[in-house]
Every structure is written in C-alpha cells, then in structure tokens.
Amino acid sequence: MRSRKKMRLWLFLFAILLLAAAISQVFTRHAASKRSHTIHIVLQRSAENSQDFKLVENELNRYLAQNEDFQVQFKIVDEKTRETDYMRLLKSAEPIDLIFGDMASLKKAANAGLLEPLDSLLQTYGSGIKAVLNKEYLDTGYVDKIRYGLPTVRDYSSSSCFEYNIDLAEKCGLEMDTVTDLDSLETQLFRLKEADPSIIPVANNHYYGLDALLKIDPVGDDFRYPLAVLQDYGRSPKVVTLSETPEFADFINRMYRWHQNGLLMPDSGTTISAINYIKSGKVLGCFSHYHPGFDIEETRGSGIKIGCVLLSENYINSFSANRLFWEIPSKSESKEIAMRFLELMYTDENVVRILSYGCEGVHYEYKNSDKTVIGYPSGINVDNSRYSQFFGWMYGNEMLMPVWDGLPDNLWAQITDYNDHSIQSAAINFCFDPTPVEKEINSCEIIMQKYYFGLITGELNPEKYLPILQQGLKEAGIDSITAEKQKQLNQYLEGGTGA
C-alpha cells in the first residue's frame, strides 16, 4: 500500500517536472520570439562625443524588450559623407529599415523606387505620429502628393542673429543690447576694433543665417548657393534672381567694407567651426540662426557664455520645413516594425530620452525630483562625455525630452509658440523639382562656387565681381531656372502639382 502511494507521489512529482519544463520551454520560445526581429537604422553623426553609441543602443534595446517584439541596430554614417552614403546604402544589399535624409535625397530615392510610400503604414501603425504632425509646417515629405518622409518635431522657425562672447563684449565695453540691425551691429564692431585691435570681430559663418538676414526663401536651392529665391521672408510669390536684387548688393557691399576695415576674419578657407574661434577668445562672434534657448545651447556646447542679438523676424521657409526626414527603404523586410519604432520615437519619452541623452548615471543625471531637468553627472562635461552631441531634434519628437540644465523650464512651449506664431513663407510646403533645369543648376552652381562666397565674406570687391557673377549666371542659364521655379510655384499656389 505504501509503495503504491510512494509510486503515485513520484509519478505526480515527475508530471510536475515535465509540466514545468514544458512551461519553461514556452516562456523561452516566447522570450526568444519577442527579440526575433531586428530593425536596422542608418544615422548620420560625427565621430566626436559618440564613442558610447553601442552602450546607448544596448540601453534602448533593454527598454524595448519590456513591451516590444523587436530590437534595433544602428549603423553610424559620418555626417561629412552623408550625401554620398545615402544613395549607396539604399542601393546596396545591406539590410536597412529606417534612414534619415534630406529632401533632395528623398526625391531622388523616391523617383528611383528606393523608398516606401508611408500613407498606408501611417494609417495602420502611426496614429500617434499623425497626432503630432498636425500642423501645416509639418505636413511635408511628399513627392507627387505621396508621402515618403516624416519630419521631426523640433524648432522650425528661426531668425538671423549675431552670437557673441559675452565676457569679451563686456571686457571691451560693447553695448550689445543696443543692436537691432546690421547698422547698429556695425557700430559695436568698430568700437571693438578701437578697444582691442587684436580681436577679430566676426568669424566667417556666413552660410548660416544669411537667408534670414536677406529675408529670403531659397525654394529648393542648395542653401550654400541660393540662385532663384522669394523675398520678404518668402511672402512674395515672385521668384527673383538673388544676385540681381538691391538687397544682395547692399549686403555684399557692407561685407566688403567690413573686410577692408578688419571687421571680418580674413581666412574664409578655414574648416574650423566659427564657435571654436569664439571659444578661443580671439573672435567676438558670428552670424547664426536663432531659436528660443539657442544662446544657452551654444553656452553649453562651447563652455563660454554666449549671447545673441536678433537681426530679423522669425519665420519658416521651405528649406527649414522640407529639410530632413525619416524614411523607410522599399527593400526593408520589416516595414511594419520600422513604422512601429517610428511611432515610439514620436510618442515615447523614454525612447527619445535614451537616444538623445544616453544612459542615466553615465551620460546624464536628473537635476530635480520631477525628472524634468537633466544635466551632466559629476565629473562629466562636454569635453570628456562619450555621448554628448545633443541631436534630440533628429529623434522624432524632441518636445518629449527633459530640458537640459540651464535651459528654460518651458523651453518646448517657447519653441512651439515660436513655430506657431512665425511668419510663414508662401512656399512653405513647396518642393521644387529641379529635373527640367538640372544642367542649368549645375552650371550656375559652378559659377557661384567661384564668386559667391568671396562676395558674401567681403573678400571680393562687388564693384568688380558682382557684374562678373551676374553675367556668368546669365550665360549658365539662371533665367531658365527662375522661370521654371516660378512655373512650378504657380502650380503649387493654385493647388496643382507643384508639391
């Protein structure tokens, strides 16, 4: 009798063990299935301050494993080679499920069939994305009325500003609070030359902020070589040749005068960024684009106190509205999962925070109990951090991030208001198709490369070289570019096929 009971007990225990093993296998298979999908993402970053990217990738995957059935794997492409790498990677056999690119590249890739239309995927998996991309200046990323790209939620509106070293300005007795335009800025620059002739007043950074200084919308042109533009912050619907406008002539004449009087840095061929010259204490400042918090961001990134004076109204032009997008390659085998991850980038504050700031305790720490403000941990700064590039604007929705220590608590509200209440170009969602005049554009850009930068940095005498630039552009076909751009813009404004 006892032996039978003992046998039944052993059989019962054995059955329990078999059941436990079976359950364990089920959970093991389930856990494995949760991580069976990997989406491959191409990112553009500089190598500086991103040595810990793999550590951050692992941190993100640990978070995703809590609720998702996929993980991510990033491929980092240097920003300097982004344009050439973009098409090469899309055409390669290398698996890519998400890629970040500019509008010109997007259009080429879409027309070549290398990108997936996003409308259906958005409808099924992107309700959160649609909810945040609900404004006119975010309704972009289209080619022939089909959406191939998703813009990120970030600062779109900007104004021209002059950013400067506050300590240096105070040391030299400058009254920067009196500066409202180029005339009043010029007064302070001459005062600086009198106070300390060894200081260079302005670093060459003229590509940045020049569009706002001249109040133009480049409507599809390379921002380095604006050819045919809209004036009055883009509110004028008439396309004009920039080099033939009185405003351009006035500006380059001023720059030539500044150069002749030692107000501009003499070497325009330098590859060192203007902010690094400002950090040296040998240069006062440079032109830039301004948005709320920009001066604090520059202070954080440079390690010196940076101030800004505004030189124009804030506005959104077609370049800023149609600049950079998240895209899904047509070759992707995980398109639905890629869209699901995009949904997280636009709606999940933890995903955005990890990608933007890295790992807590290593790259950042919370500075308040509400976890709304973060900063560097003790002993870490911009110079020794292994993950400190502040690319939050790239990762879907930067408005979800905690504010960096020192920035206004309501920074995201300020930027949203700045966007919503800015001047908007008439061509804000217009995407110029350069195909009919590609030959002329290439020829004109060759002419611009010879003379444009020298003129805007004051190194070339406008009296001699502006007519040469104008004639060269005429012979290269600038009138055809202006006419084609006007034709397409008119179609867009009339609700045709310009976008």
Q: Which of 25-34, 323-332, 440-449, 470-479 has the lowest mean pLDDT?
A: 25-34
Asked if residue 101 is part of any domain, the answer here is: yes
Phi-psi region at 477: left, alpha or beta (left = phi > 0; alpha = psi -120 to 50): left
Residue 182: per-residue pLDDT: 96
Asked if residue 215 is part of any domain, the answer here is: no
pLDDT over 80 (residue 62): yes
Residue 273: per-residue pLDDT: 65
Domain total in the chain: 1
Residue position matching structure tokens 């509110």: 235
pLDDT over 70 (residue 367): yes
CATH of the domain at 412: 3.40.190.10
Asked if residue 45 is part of any domain, the answer here is: yes
Asked if residue 308 is part of any domain, the answer here is: no
Q: Which of 74-88, 166-180, 219-233, 356-370 has the lowest mean pLDDT?
A: 74-88
Handedness of CA 15, 18, 22, 27 (dihedral sign): positive
Q: 429 versus 400: which is more confidently predicted?
A: 400
Asked if residue 439 is part of any domain, the answer here is: no
For 101, 107, 326, 397, the CA distances from 141, given in Å and listed in that order, are 11, 9, 9, 16
Q: Which of 109-113, 120-124, 302-306, 370-374 has the lowest mean pLDDT?
A: 302-306
Residue 26: per-residue pLDDT: 42
pLDDT over 90 (residue 167): yes
Asked if residue 398 is part of any domain, the answer here is: yes
Residue 197: per-residue pLDDT: 94
Asked if residue 239 is part of any domain, the answer here is: no
pLDDT over 90 (residue 12): no
Enumerate residues 6+ apart whose C-beta is below 8 A from 380.
363
Query: Residue length, the chain?
Result: 499
pLDDT over 60 (residue 271): no
C-alpha to C-alpha distance for 2 and 5, rounded to whole angstroms: 5
The H-assigned helical ranges of 293-348 are 294-302, 318-321, 335-347
Handedness of CA 279, 281, 285, 290 (dihedral sign): positive
The C-alpha torsion from 14 through 18 and 19 to 20, rounded to 10°, is 100
Name the residue range of residue 106's domain: 36-154+321-423
Mean pLDDT of 399-403: 94
Nearest alpha carbon to residue 118 among 395, 399, 325, 345: 325
Strand order in the sheet with 98-102: 70-78, 37-45, 98-102, 324-327
Asked if residue 227 is part of any domain, the answer here is: no
Residue 46: per-residue pLDDT: 65
